Every structure is written in C-alpha cells, then in structure tokens.
Amino acid sequence: MTALEKIFGRTAQMTVLENLIKHQNESTYLSGIAEETGLSHSSVARVIDPLLKADVVIEKRLGKQIRTFRLNMDNKTTKLILDFHIKLNKEFE
C-alpha cells in the first residue's frame, strides 16, 4: 500500500496518478497504464479525463486512434502534487 493510499484510499484515479508519477518523465498509453495497474482500459480512460481537464496530464495523439499521456511537468498543480508525494513518502518510510 502506498503512502497516498494509506491516507486517501485506493481509487482508480489515485492508482492512475501514482502510475503517471512513477513514470513522470515518460509518455505512456492507456493500455500500458491499464496493464501496469490492473485496471480496465475503460476505467483508465474514465479517470484520466479529470486529470486532463485539470492540465495535470498532457495528451498527445499519434495518428487517429493512438493517445499517449504524461504528467504536465510545467503545471503548478502537478509540481505541488509531486512535492506532496515526495514529502508524504518520506513521512511513511
């Protein structure tokens, strides 16, 4: 159980966010997130939408059907989330 899960519980959105944090300098696909997290493709698609709207996650389309995602490292909210994540993990070590 991660530090975020200990406080906020395990939700699909939290699981997706933690996966993106884990791979913060990489782009990934919905299917890749689903495979790594054990969530369904449709669950990942559903919970990534609010992260896109908040500009925490950036979407890049490759062709008509392929979508890639990565954390928006230029976004102030993303930076706050990452800072909180680091401090929280240190607290629970």
- With residues binned 3-state (H G I as helix, E B as strand, rest as coil), the percentages for the chain, rounded to 5, are 60, 15, 25
Torsion angle defined by CA atoms of residues 44, 50, 80 and 83, in that order, rounded to the nearest 10 degrees: -10
Q: Amino acid identity, residue 31?
A: S
pLDDT score at 30: 94
Number of domains in the chain: 1
pLDDT category at 42 given cuts 50, 70, 90 is: very high
Determine the structural domain holding residue 31 and report its residue range. 3-91
pTM of the predicted protein model: 0.89
Would the pLDDT of 1 be above 80?
A: no
Per-residue pLDDT, averaged over 76-88, amounts to: 95
End-to-end CA distance of the chain: 12
